[in-house]
Structure 1
Amino acid sequence: MNILVRNVEKADYQSVRRIMNQVQEMHVAWRPDIYKSNENLISEDVFDLMINSGNAFVADVDGVVAGVLEVTYKHIESPAHVTREVVFIDTMAVDKEYRGRGIGHQFFEKVRELKDSSGSDGIELQVNAMNHAAYEMYKECGFTEKSINMELL
């Protein structure tokens, strides 16, 4: 299996949409009190913005888009915090048919490259508390808990 992490292209729209819909349906299954089904999470206009940002990538597996990665760069500065530059992983999603095949690890290699080339201090992300598989992969890749979001319904 040949995995190429590359910038997202216009022709990837339907594949990215399919993968993001899979993720949304996982969220709906876990928390229907918060999430709802929506087959048009990413409009073509929003997708064009993703392309133009240069911060959206796909995992291309032998010509098939099997994953989506989107990052943002955050400047953290306040009287309470040490000033830092962070690469924040907004989206990391792998098609259900390709999970467990190393695509997430390839995405992390790409994010590490982005961190190094931008001179950022760290990489951060959020994970749904119900997504145990992703949580374990993140720990395996060296991530540690920074904070925990809690709610009262």
Structure 2
Amino acid sequence: MKILVRNAKKEDYSAARDIMNQVQQMHVQWRPDVYKANENLITEEIFGFMRESGNLYVADVEGSVVGVLEVTMKHVESPAHVTKDILFIDSMAVDSEFRGKGIGHAFFEKVKELKKESGADAIELQVNARNIAAMEMYKKCGFTEKSINMELLEN
């Protein structure tokens, strides 16, 4: 299977929206107290803005969009932190039928290429604590835990 990671095009909207909705539904199932179902999670207008930023990519397999990747550059500079530029993975979503088939790894190769081109110091992302499959993949790709968000839910 040949995976092409390329910049998103206008005609990729429907497939990208459907994939993002699949991932949103997973979040809703894991944490209905935090996430809500929303079939219009990414409007065509928002997709256009993301696409025009140049930071939105898709995984294309034989002409079909099977994954979505959004990255942004973040500059960290404060009295408490070492100054650095971070390539941050805002979204990475893969169609349920293509999970476990190398799409995520292809996205990481693209992100590493973008890091090198931009001169960024690091690559970072956030992951839902209940998304065990994604965390395992990230660890296989060399990611380590940087911080852990915790919450106290009082009734």
TM-score, structure 1 as length reference: 0.99
1:21-79 Cα deviation digits (max 9, x unpaired): 00010001001111110000001110110110000000001111000000000000000
Alignment partner of 1:47 is 2:47 = yes
Distance (Å, rounded) in 2 between the aligned partners of 1:37 and 1:128 = 16
Distance (Å, rounded) in 2 between the aligned partners of 1:35 and 1:85 = 30
* TM superposition outliers: structure 1 runs of 4+ over 2 Å: none
Alpha-carbon RMSD across the aligned residues, in angstroms, is 0.4
Distance (Å, rounded) in 2 between the aligned partners of 1:45 and 1:19 = 17
Q: Who is 2:81 aligned against?
A: 81
Residue identity in the other structure for 1:148: I
- Name the SS of the counterpart of 1:110 in structure 2: helix
> What pairs with 1:103-142 in structure 2 (closer than 5 Å)?
103-142=103-142
- Listed as ranges, the gaps of 5+ residues in structure 2 are none
- Listed as ranges, the gaps of 5+ residues in structure 1 are none
Residue identity in the other structure for 2:91: T
Alignment partner of 1:28 is 2:44 = no
Alignment partner of 1:18 is 2:18 = yes
Residue identity in the other structure for 1:18: D
The count of corresponding residues between Structure 1 and Structure 2 is 153
- Name the SS of the counterpart of 1:69 in structure 2: strand
Same amino acid, percent of matched pairs: 71
1:106-135 Cα deviation digits (max 9, x unpaired): 000000000000000000000000000000
- Name the SS of the counterpart of 2:16 in structure 1: helix
TM-score, structure 2 as length reference: 0.98
